């Protein structure tokens, strides 16, 4: 394509390091869409004739059909998806193909294609997050009353419900979806028409191509249009945070399936066995989701390092933007689907959860709150009395609910037998009626709110 300036072909090593068709052929759909919009605009602007545009559009349709059928001849000699399409177009329609590149550079072409691909990836990811939230909502609704221990420092803290615990992840993944939506809104400006870096002398209509390709507006600076990949970095940052949330839920699934916890069961569909230990049933799907965050963070870091020291405008370094982004979204989308499947599949072992909900003196805070409400005791004094009660129960080898009234009254004379009404895990969870609390009615209210939001 630059034979007028060069007399020799590139060296084999140059070709090997320079070629990108092996991975950027994933941009084929976006490249064809951009070319269709550009051709239509050139014809309307009077830059090319109607006959040339018709030939170009027909050739692009033929190429799309070849790609769809798996018959397109991807060739390394043409380096990338853009030149592969252009070369094939010339083979199909002749010299008219050469007019398509008028008022366009590969710089704004790849900036457009990649931006459209990342935009599509954000849309897909938001849809997959909604599917995961829906699975969590269904499971939470079925277990809005199912007791389990709430933890801090992985130590029993206060009783909660399983539905409440799952709804925490609904909130997290909701924020993740919001981050992808925010990133999508910021990237929804069309770089086509920026050309190599300075714009075009032809009477192009950038508003027309922006509208045709679903963008809100054209980018406002031709240098910036081809220079930055912050849209991909922002999407990768959102992907990394989403991966962190997926990893945390995966970790809990791994822990909960151990015999030591025994909180949930996974079916054979989401577990594997051992080659040597016949009793094993391993939560490998959760473990692999837990590990994927490393790939997501690595991709974000990789692209950040590529971009951090580049001068304006385009440098070939930026060819390295696609592989980490493709790999990250492949990993994220697989993880989201796997997690939605696991959430739908898992079943809580309610008796084991309920038993654990009362362990570790988890209703101690309820005793302190009762002392404040009933005896008008300052909370710090109530905290001290409750701590002493826990110590005494530990000495006697019993739970708080089983501590004799005389022992409690020895710590504070105003304590009456009605105190036992707050010392069960069920009563503890039911009492947390503040907005966003773990009381089953509150959990159901949040489920209803999210169902309406997702609908």
Q: 13 — phi, psi (to 5°)?
A: -65, -40
Name the packing angle between helices 322-345 and 106-142 (round to 10°). 10
Q: Which residues contact residue 92 at a Cβ distance below 8 angstroms, ignoring those fewer than 6 apart?
A: 59, 62, 63
| Nearest-angstrom CA–CA distance, 246 and 284 | 14
DSSP state of 351: H
Cα dihedral across residues 321, 324, 328, 329: positive or negative = positive
DSSP state of 347: E
| Nearest-angstrom CA–CA distance, 111 and 105 | 10
* 405 close to 117: Cβ distance less than 8 angstroms: no
Tokens found for residue 166: 């799952």
| Nearest-angstrom CA–CA distance, 204 and 193 | 7
* 127 close to 332: Cβ distance less than 8 angstroms: no
For the chain, report the end-to-end CA distance as a whole number of angstroms: 51
Partners of 149 in the β-ladder? 159
Residue 92 half-sphere exposure, CB side, CA atoms within 13 Å?
A: 23
Radius of gyration of the chain from its Cα atoms, rounded to whole angstroms: 30
DSSP state of 160: E
DSSP state of 276: S
* 164 close to 157: Cβ distance less than 8 angstroms: no
Would strands 147-152 and 155-161 be described as parallel, antiparallel, or unpaired?
antiparallel
Active site residues per annotation: 153, 274
Name the packing angle between helices 50-69 and 28-44 (round to 10°). 170
Task: Provide, for the chain, the percentages of residues in helix, strand and coil under a 3-state DSSP scheme, each rounded to the nearest 5.
Answer: 70, 5, 25
- Burial annotation 101-119 (CB, 10 A radius, 16+ → b, else e): bbbbbbbbbbbbbbbbbbb
* 135 close to 253: Cβ distance less than 8 angstroms: no
* 286 close to 343: Cβ distance less than 8 angstroms: no
Residue 270 half-sphere exposure, CB side, CA atoms within 13 Å?
A: 26
| Nearest-angstrom CA–CA distance, 80 and 64 | 16
Tokens found for residue 192: 């086509």
């Amino acid at each position: 394509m630059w034979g007028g300036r060069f007399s020799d072909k590139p060296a084999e090593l140059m070709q090997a390091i320079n070629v990108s068709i092996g991975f950027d052929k994933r941009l084929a759909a976006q490249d064809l869409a951009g070319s269709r919009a550009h051709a239509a605009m050139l014809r309307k602007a009077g830059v090319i004739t109607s006959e040339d545009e018709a030939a170009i559009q027909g050739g692009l349709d033929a190429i799309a059909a070849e790609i769809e059928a798996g018959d397109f001849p991807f060739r390394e000699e043409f380096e990338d998806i853009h030149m592969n399409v252009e070369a094939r177009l010339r083979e199909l329609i002749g010299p008219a193909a050469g007019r398509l590149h008028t008022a366009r550079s590969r710089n704004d072409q790849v900036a457009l294609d990649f931006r459209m691909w990342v935009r599509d990836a954000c849309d897909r990811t938001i849809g997959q997050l909604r599917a995961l939230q829906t699975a969590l909502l269904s499971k939470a609704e079925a277990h809005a009353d199912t007791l389990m221990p709430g933890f801090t420092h992985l130590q029993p803290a206060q009783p909660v419900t399983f539905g409440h615990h799952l709804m925490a992840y609904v909130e997290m993944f909701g924020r993740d979806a919001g981050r992808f939506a925010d990133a999508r809104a910021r990237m929804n400006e069309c770089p086509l028409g920026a050309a190599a870096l300075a714009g075009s002398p032809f009477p192009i209509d950038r508003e027309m191509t922006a509208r045709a390709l679903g963008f809100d507006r054209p980018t406002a600076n031709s240098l910036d249009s081809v220079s930055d990949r912050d849209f991909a970095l922002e999407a990768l940052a959102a992907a990394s945070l989403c991966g962190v949330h997926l990893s945390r839920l995966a970790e809990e699934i791994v822990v909960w399936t151990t015999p030591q916890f025994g909180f949930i069961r996974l079916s054979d569909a989401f577990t594997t066995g051992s080659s040597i230990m016949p009793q094993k049933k391993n939560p490998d799907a959760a473990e692999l989701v837990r590990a994927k965050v490393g790939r997501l963070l690595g991709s974000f870091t990789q692209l950040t390092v590529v971009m951090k020291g580049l001068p304006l405008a385009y440098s070939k370094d930026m060819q390295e933007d696609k592989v980490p982004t493709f790999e990250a979204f492949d990993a994220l989308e697989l993880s989201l689907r796997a997690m939605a499947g696991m959430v739908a599949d898992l079943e809580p072992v309610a008796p084991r959860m309920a038993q654990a909900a009362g362990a570790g003196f988890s209703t101690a805070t309820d005793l302190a709150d009762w002392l404040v409400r009933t005896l008008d005791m300052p909370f710090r004094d109530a905290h001290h009395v409750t701590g002493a009660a826990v110590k005494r129960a530990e000495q006697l080898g019993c739970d708080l609910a089983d501590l004799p009234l005389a022992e409690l009254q020895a710590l504070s004379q105003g304590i009456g037998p009605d105190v036992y009404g707050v010392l069960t895990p069920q009563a503890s969870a039911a009492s947390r009626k503040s907005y966003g609390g773990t009381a089953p009615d509150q959990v159901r209210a949040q489920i209803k709110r999210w169902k309406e939001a997702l609908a």
